[in-house]
A and B are shown apart, each in its own frame.
Chain A
Amino acid sequence: MSAILAGTEQPVVEVQNLRVRFGHTGPLVVKGISVALNRGECLALIGESGSGKSVTLRTLIGLTGYGSKVEADRLRFDGNDLNRFTENKWREIRGARIGFVLQDALGSLDPLRTVGREIDEPLRLHLSLTKNQRATRIIELLESVGVPEPAVRARQYPHQLSGGLRQRALLASAIACAPELVILDEPTTALDTIVQAQVLHLLESLRNGKTSMLIVSHDFGVVARLADRVAVMQEGLIVEQGAAETVFQDPQHPYTRSLLAAASSVHRLGIEASSGTSIFAFETPPSQRTRAGQSSVKLGSDRKTTPFTNRDGNYLIEANNLTKSFTGVDAKKRTVVSDVSFSLSQGSTLGIAGESGSGKTTLARMVLGLERPDSGLLKVEGRAWDSLSANGRRQERRRIQPVFQDPLSSFDPRFTVEKVLGEALGVSGYPSGVRRRNRAIELLELVRLDRTFLGRRPIELSGGQRQRIAIARALAPEPEVIVCDEPISSLDVSVQAQILDLLSDLKTRFRVAGIFISHDLGVIRRMSDQVLIMKDGLVVESGDVGAVFECPQHEYTRRLLDAVPRIEKRSDFVYA
């Protein structure tokens, strides 16, 4: 707040009571927000999907979208009234005075044009430079955003560049005409951790005091590092705004607090999980929670009667030198998983971390028996998968249950929740009818949903609810191991925390072993006992989670850990 008062000169961007809707009678997606951005300042809009932050951003460059209705008491850029802008006026400032970067760098670059031509576009449209001057400028720009071999890269097509380079090239096109304001919509979301850190570093270096920055993100780590001021958006309203430090250290609004708590518990390294109760508090009435507790006792007692086969000191799952390769369309063989060994004992959780393409998912699919290893041995409770007959393997399957990344596509679209759970219960021998139905209700309560969900279809549910159903289905056949493949990466931050709490709660309650796959080291740290760090199909480091994370041995692990954006990096405040 003080920043606004202190600024004597006119703010670059002034927004008062901005309202945006789609269609004539559609609901407001932005419900009257007011923000101001001073020269040289970086303002971050934080919120979950659907909060209206991206729409707000696009309104500032006049590209709100087809069928949108924008109203504002005041909408100014550098003193110009944007409300009265004609299309021609807009075109004069777009690219020239306001640079814009979208989230998805691959989609944001024209696949049919070279990167150089994309960067050339604002130069050609706004500056009167000769072709040669423009060519030189393109190289300079690519250099300034840290693209190696700029002359070569300028002639390449987007698909030939890595994600990080694409994001840099996109940034270069946005800053080509040295705009006063750069608008960034989730600039690092689509990137792997290490690349994300590099791009953030680049963005920091671009802050030269003159350029103002407006950034939208759901990631507190990103925002903490860049923003001077923060505005938190929820359902089209700004619920809180102020200097970044103030908001982080002393959040006033309960929503900000819950977001921060959720983000810290999900992403923070080395600090134990937040207490789950506060997060569940607004989801399930206490009466239901007790009932869920009761039913869980029952599952616990069921479990005791099941003989564990761990008695001979065998591990639940033992993998020896698993290797799997696929033949691509071009007839080239790619080794996706090579020589991976691990073991999982009862009740413990193995985390598998690594960036996209490191072979995590393939490994999980082999454990689930959905994919056969080319070589190596996979033993479940001391018996090799391979030694079983097809029928025998089928009967063993229920011991290992999956929870997939995209919960929706993991349900038959025709099935109701009751049928989904019923099918899973049928496998473990529950007779159909009242007993199965009651058991399904118990399962729903275990994942903190109630019986009203039985008749609904997965498509009618939210992402978090779907993932709960997926977990309930995984629990239904009373498995020994649950394999979670990126179970939270398609969910919003606050929901992520709830699902993680639910999973760890179930894990301790039923002593179910887990294999937990994630690209997010914070999540791995929180959920697992042992960890495998994978890179290009190889395990580069493995061991106890605490040991690996506190004193990583391998260079790659260290880089991964350093790259995790952290709120506490900026200032070492403590969470309440």
Chain B
Amino acid sequence: MRYLLRRLGFYLVAAWVALTLNFFLPRLMPGDPATAIFARLRGRVSPEAMQALREAFGLTGEPLWRQYFTYLGSVLHGDFGMSVAYFPAPVTQVIATGFVWTIFLAGTSVVISFVLGTLLGVVSAWRRRGWIDTWLPSTLAFLGAFPYFWLAMVFLYVLGFTLGWFPLGHAYGDDLSPAWNGTFIADVARHAILPVTTVVLATLGGWLLSMRNTMIAVLGSDYVHLARARGIHPRRVMLRYAARNALLPNVTGFGMALGFVLGGSLLTEIVFSYPGQGYLLVQAVRSQDYPLMQGIFLVITLAVLAANWLVDIVYLWLDPRIRDASS
């Protein structure tokens, strides 16, 4: 329990660093984003509304530290300011529309990739120099070497555009409206196959290789030799003795991978025009919608921190050493 609380403290520090970065980045960079924001809005809103906006963004003439605390206060109240591109919608409202899709897309891909990659890594190390070990790591390393989005483009071009097997983009068909029924869910699944497949293919190799390498090291240790010598069933040695211990680095990597995929999925979302966070983020950058951009960065970061804490709980369950050390 103490361990989990300590980790929670760490994530709070990380969240604070992200908030602070978010506050100071625009103020330290050359050029004035405030001018850019208000130049875009000029003529669309009245001077009074403009002044209200300035205050909402914390871009007032006040000293920096006052601005900083105003900013922290409004973020803690869930107020991320107004979007410039979608004016006058608040940033939180714009983000909410994309968030569910990103969590769905990234979550599905990471879980599939992690489970499949780790299992293949175990088998690959167990049957060293077997056909899986010879061909799969190299093939996946080769696929993983392609730029993420490029692979997605090729898949979209060949399977979606030329062969017409999969839809060309979006999360669901234009003729459907979101509802909890079979038709809609099936349509969402059909639209997700291509994006998820590309993410899994691009990330599978990493899980496989790291699992394989740790597994090889673990298989060389004395307790595994002993277990084998005692005549314990090979599959039990493989999974319960070796794989369980070799899994730890991969579990640590899981939290980070979630961050990587949550962030990296924005490339996939661009290629597949998937209406998630990443798509919004790039649109925000292109239209110089700084409040939205920063809001998305913050939300992605907080989501990743939360996910990492969940991974810590799993880690605690897997590794008795940490449990003992903390009690």
A and B interact physically? no
